[in-house]
């Protein structure tokens, strides 16, 4: 079984961007789908939203990105997003959970005018047999 225990906190950008991930706790088992939610605030009209994975090795892996002007939701392999510009939210769905999915996941908002990436992080994903 893959059990995901999520602890969330947000970081703030240069006074105009904020990313928050909810809920603070979640669990999932191998083979199930799990959805991670992210809400953001920005005054910029041109931005990119991304989801990253940080496994125990510490490397940051870009999973998927969504440009604000793209009306189609991004989808790559087992990862898909549901981008709701009007609600200022983007969720990441991981399909058919695998043991290797145990990691820290980051939702990031990049505003080109600021050149700053604002991150909210989901911490402590644990794998239990």
C-alpha 23: how far from chain center: 12
The pTM of this model reads 0.74
How far apart (Å, rounded) are the C-alpha atoms in residues 63 and 77? 10
Q: Per residue in 21-40, pLDDT tens? A: 666 556 788 899 988 888 88
5 — pLDDT class (breaks 50, 70, 90): very low
Distance CA 84, CA 101 (A): 25
Residue 108's nearest CA partner among 71, 54, 72 is: 54
Range 86-105 average pLDDT: 88
- Cβ atoms of 49 and 37 within 8 Å: the answer is no
Cα–Cα distance for residue pair 101/125, rounded to 1 Å: 9
pLDDT, tens digit, 9 for 90 and up, residues 47-93? 888 888 888 888 888 999 999 888 899 999 999 999 999 999 999 99
Q: 49 and 68 in contact (C-beta within 8 Å)? A: yes
Fold category of 2-126 in CATH: Immunoglobulin-like (2.60.40)
Q: Where are the domains of the chain?
A: 2-126
């Amino acid at each position: 079984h893959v059990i995901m225990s999520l602890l969330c906190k947000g970081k703030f950008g240069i006074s105009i961007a904020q990313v928050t991930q909810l809920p603070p706790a979640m669990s999932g088992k191998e083979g199930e789908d799990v959805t991670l939610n992210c809400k953001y605030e920005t005054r910029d009209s041109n931005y990119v939203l991304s989801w990253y994975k940080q496994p125990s090795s510490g490397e940051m892996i870009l999973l998927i990105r969504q440009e604000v002007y793209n009306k189609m939701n991004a989808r790559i392999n087992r990862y898909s997003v549901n981008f709701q510009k009007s609600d200022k939210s983007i969720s990441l769905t991981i399909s058919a959970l695998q043991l290797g999915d145990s990691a820290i996941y980051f939702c990031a908002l990049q505003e080109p005018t600021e050149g700053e990436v604002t991150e909210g992080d989901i911490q402590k994903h644990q794998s239990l047999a």
